[in-house]
Amino acid sequence: MEKTIGERIVDAMPFLDGASDVVQPKVQELLDAGGATARYILDGVWFEVPLHPVLTDVPIGSWTAAILFDGLDLVSGRTAMRNAADASLAVGVAGGFVAAAVGFSDWRYTSGGSRRMGMAHAILNSAGLALNVTSLLLRASGRRNAGRLAFLAGYSLNGMGAHLGGELSYKYGLRVNRNAFEATGPDDFTPVLDEAELSGEEMRRIEVDGAGVLLSRSEKDGRVCAIAATCNHFSGPLEQGEREGDTVVCPWHKSRFDLCNGKVLNGPAVFPQSGYETRVRDGKIEVRAVDENIQEKVR
Ligand code: FES
């Protein structure tokens, strides 16, 4: 696949890997020290969506409004416009810090090109944020024109950072539901395995109509359960995970899912696993996709 301009620029800066080697473990340590509640909030588990894209709307919107109000202030000289510009800038700065915390949390799982691009994204946005804080201080000290210039420089850096953030989502699929792009599986019940082949505590990955499906038997009632075998967080192989009761823990970042309904029981994943209906006919386990999963797929 041909590289984007953003990737080519980022790849020409090997120091980004060195910086990531230093910063990534520190971010993980910080989040571990913050406890499960902090991780759940930052990962978006309680909200059932990744939070970074939502939170970045606050600084982007506020700073764009601040640019507008700065322009109106210059043209009209009205105090109301000046105050509105300062207030918008301040709201954006506050939102920027929160978005940065969540962004670092998302970034801690990346590697290779996405980690490099994430570091470039973070450096640009942190520099932009620092310039915007400087702008607030300059404005407060009466040096408004210098403050405006600092803000314009910060806004430009944040714009470049935002572009790389878009590439992280659209090119690398960071925090995207990985199940959405997989095959839906069969529309009708399809035999996939002899029932006798699935023992009590086993988790068995099978492929059917291009979909990877994780089969297991419920410890509670012995029924056959089926969910997508690929973790929707970062595509971890759930069949290699640990089974604990009727749940599976992803081997990569420890998300825990219900083996029978795909529900997220522990993050960092925020989306439930795609589920499948099962039945046993003539000694064979049969599987078919459920309607809601078919509707959620990207076609
Ligand atoms: S790939 Fe990250 S929790 Fe499964």
Q: Report how far ligand 1's centroid is from the alpha carbon of 294 (Å).
A: 22
Domain containing residue 231: CATH number: 2.102.10.10
For residue 200, what pLDDT is reported? 81
Q: Same structural domain for residues 152 and 195?
A: no
Q: Which residue has the tokens 């894209």?
A: 53
User: pLDDT, tens digit, for every residue of 239-276?
Assistant: 999 999 999 999 999 999 999 999 999 989 999 999 99
High-pLDDT (> 90) share of the chain, %: 78
Kindly report the average pLDDT of the chain as a whole number. 92
Q: Which atom of ligand 1 is nearest to the CA of 231?
A: 4
pLDDT at 186 over 70: yes
**Domain total of the chain:** 2
Q: Same structural domain for residues 123 and 139?
A: yes
Domain that holds residue 287: 178-296
For residue 299, what pLDDT is reported? 53
pLDDT at 224 over 70: yes
- Residues 7-46, buried b or exposed e (16+ Cβ, 10 A)? beebeeeeebeebbeebbeebeeebeeeeeeebbbbbbbe
Ligand 1 pocket, CB under 6 A: 231, 233-234, 236, 250, 252-253, 255, 268-269
Q: Which atom of ligand 1 is nearest to the CA of 234?
A: 1
Q: Same structural domain for residues 77 and 201?
A: no
Q: pLDDT band at residue 284, thresholds of 50, 70 and 90?
A: very high
Q: pLDDT band at residue 294, thresholds of 50, 70 and 90?
A: low
Q: Same structural domain for residues 26 and 131?
A: yes
For residue 5, what pLDDT is reported? 85
Directed axis angle between helix 144-170 and helix 112-140, to 10°?
A: 160
Q: Same structural domain for residues 110 and 237?
A: no
Q: Report how far ligand 1's centroid is from the alpha carbon of 5 (Å).
A: 29
pTM comes to: 0.85
Are 115 and 21 spatial neighbours (Cβ–Cβ below 8 Å)?
A: no
Q: pLDDT band at residue 127, thresholds of 50, 70 and 90?
A: very high
Q: Same structural domain for residues 256 and 143?
A: no
Q: Same structural domain for residues 156 and 253?
A: no
